[in-house]
Chain A
Amino acid sequence: MTAKLTWARVLLYATLIVVAAIYLMPIYMTVITALKDPADINLDTAWQLPSHLNWGSFSQAYAKLGPNIVNSIILAVTATLLSSLLGSLNGYVFSKWSFRGNDLVFTLLLFGMFIPYQIILIPLFQTLRAMHLYGGLPGLILAHVVYGLPITTLIFRNFYAQIPSSLTESAQIDGAGFFKLYLRVIFPLSIPGFVVTFIWQFTQIWNEFLWGITLTKYNANPITVGLAQLAGGQAVSWNLPMAGSIIAAIPVLIIYILMGRYFIRGLLAGSVKG
């Protein structure tokens, strides 16, 4: 099957190429700047390719950002795992164990999604300080776990709604209680749901800046804060923040590449229908 080359098609591709080029422009700028010597970077030659490749930017940036990367990995992985797991349990309860006031509680929980997180910054700060969790990673992890619950709960509730009730009822008759039913039947069927919440939560938490800078002290600063510090100051060697940005983007890219593959393959797609 070959599509016919019509004017409409040519126009379509031309438009797509232009739009793609505009979209890729900042990435081009980031990459070439990262590879230049600090002395070569000026406005006049900003769009030109580097005269020679300066790979050293990456090791220099990494040397400065190393601790932040470690912080961010601990933060994003722990908070993503916890919020996904709790969201999965919540979704399981809301979809399969309806109780009195079920809908009301669920609606209230969803309100959390619509609260702009800047609004709760100060109360959050005070709460964490009162809990003696201000300044370190555990406090930031707790904040992200709680803030992530509405969306992970919603994703899992909708995902579990597709699992026919007869499946859980059958397991109940077979002798499974609340947790056995979750562990032996629901959890093994949840991989597509976890992939979605992993991608969503990891990206959100990894890229978050405001809470990171206000709720942690220097030692616990995540990567976004580290990057900002790299670009702050008076005379900036622009190759370093650029290289740092590329390094900072790698974990999220890896998550997309690995998980996206699972997602597309649809590891369990269709199996719920039996």
Chain B
Amino acid sequence: MAEVVLEKVMKKFGDFVAVKGIDLKVDDGAFTVLVGPSGCGKTTTLRMIAGLEEVTSGEVKIGEKVVNRVPPKDRDIAMVFQNYALYPHMDVYNNMAFGLKLRKIPKKEIEERVHAAASLLGIEGKLKSKPRELSGGQRQRVAVGRAIVRNPKVFLFDEPLSNLDAKLRVQMRTELEQLHHKLQTTTVYVTHDQVEAMTLGSKIAVMRDGVIHQYASPQETYDHPSNQFVAGFIGSPAMNFLPARATLSNGNLILTGEGFTITLPSNGRIDTVPEQVVLGIRPEDLTGPVSEGENLLQVKVKVTEPLGNELLVYADCGGEQVVANLDPHQHVEIDSTIKLSPNLNTLHLFDKESEATLL
């Protein structure tokens, strides 16, 4: 058990800076997810923790020890790869036992540990099989099993579920969650899937262009995104963004754009505001259609997606696409113009220029 700390860690590939001096502290026993679009530096960061990639500058610490110069095998970590990386010529037992054999652990103990891990993962019946005889989900379990028999200080996962079909992915996600609950091993998990990030992580680090934009609990990133990028990345369907002009008058914040005028009592929460802002409204914070009232969005319906438990309405608001997650027990006509009411308590406001959160 150990914490993982990155201090001003930077990684250059030639002239390209993949990771731009990030700080990250993963507490002992925590499950941290690095999430972001492809090319954001999340996998590079993970590989630097593993020691598969050299750190250009900065420090990587595992359990208070700087490991920049320590080879992967001596970092006491285990990693699960996206393509499982099982040894094709070894059966499941030997795949799991390989790391223990190399570490000269007594045969009897290896046997015990492999069987314990196999029963934990429900692959005891497959110990004699070769990887090619297994299904995707079983291979994934073997890869996880290979990591847990080692009983390492830190687990590293590199998009382990992205090769599985949707149903299996959800199942394995739950199993990984249970596994972490049982073992309480410090875990760093990389994914591009924000749902995976939200469900698995005790804390998530949202990355883009080699920078961590926000490092907080899933709920915190959802409720209080640090900027427009995080706001748009976390949550599904994604947050709606509407360009608006902001003015302060009599303690009220007035936002005007095409199809809406919204007056917010600022209550001193905000005393200066740039003129050009972006209004952020989550689809689930829109209700309607409503016929009368103030602070409404007027939109033209383009597409509706009734999903049974919710009704997604894709509409046009002054040239911007708006998605609303509405009560499914109603009918919304395509091409009709309707009014939607945003929840004023959960509105987000961003500086158009810097994308920073204003509210």
Binary per-residue interface labels of chain A (162-191) against chain B in the complex, 1 for a CB within 8 Å, 0 otherwise: 001011011111111100100011001100
Check if A173 sits within 8 Å of B79, measured CB to CB. yes
Query: Contacts of A180 on B, CB cut-off 8 Å?
Result: 102
Nearest A residue to B79 via CB reads A173
A188 CB contacts on chain B under 8 angstroms? 89
Q: Contact between A176 and B77 (Cβ–Cβ < 8 Å)?
A: no
Chain B residues near A70: list those with CB within 8 A.
none
Question: In the complex, are the beta carbons of B131 and A189 less than 8 A apart?
Answer: no
Asked whether, in the complex, the Cβ of A274 is within 8 Å of the Cβ of B84, the reply is yes
A78 smallest CB distance to B (angstroms): 27
A273 to B87, CA, bound (A): 10
Cα A177 to Cα B102 with chains together (Å)? 10
- Tell me the B142-189 residues at the A interface (CB within 8 Å): 146, 150
B81 with A169: CB separation less than 8 A: yes
B102 touches A274 (CB 8 A): no
Whether A274 touches B73, Cβ cut-off 8 Å, given contacts A173-B50, A184-B98, is no
CB-defined contacts of B86 to chain A, threshold 8 Å: 274
Which range contains the number of B residues in contact with the other chain? 20 to 34
By the criterion CB–CB under 8 Å, are A170 and B81 in contact? Answer: yes
How far apart are B270's CB and chain A's nearest CB, in angstroms? Answer: 49
Give B37 Cβ to nearest chain A Cβ, in Å.
21
| Bound-state Cα–Cα, A178 to B174, Å | 37
Q: Is the CB of A167 within 8 A of B85?
A: yes
Q: Cβ of B73 and Cβ of A173 under 8 Å apart? A: yes
- Find chain A residues with CB under 8 A from B84 CB: 274
Interface set, chain A 123-182, CB cutoff 8 A to B:
164, 166-167, 169-177, 180
A42 at the interface (CB under 8 A from B): no
**B50 adjacent to A274 (CB under 8 Å):** no
Q: In the bound complex, do residue B88 and residue A173 qualify as a contact, i.e. CB atoms below 8 Å apart? A: no
The listed residue with most B CB atoms (<10 A of its CB), out of A173, A185, A270, is A173
The reply to whether A270 and B73 form a contact with Cβ atoms under 8 Å apart is no
Q: Which residue in A166, A170, A176, A271 is a CB contact (below 8 Å) of B89?
A: A271
In contact, A270 and B72 (Cβ under 8 angstroms): no
A167 to B150, CA, bound (A): 17
Q: If A174-B99, A271-B130, A274-B131 touch, does A169 touch B85 (CB 8 Å cutoff)?
A: yes
Q: Is the CB of B103 within 8 A of A166?
A: no
Q: Is the CB of A173 within 8 A of B83?
A: no
Which residue of A is nearest B89, CB measured? A188
Is B252 in contact with chain A by the CB < 8 A criterion? no
Of all chain B residues, the one with the shortest Cβ separation from A167 is B85
Q: Per-residue CB proximity of B130-147 to A under 8 Å, as 1/0?
A: 111000000100000010
Chain A to chain B contacts (Cβ below 8 Å), 5 pairs:
A173-B51, A173-B77, A174-B73, A175-B73, A271-B88
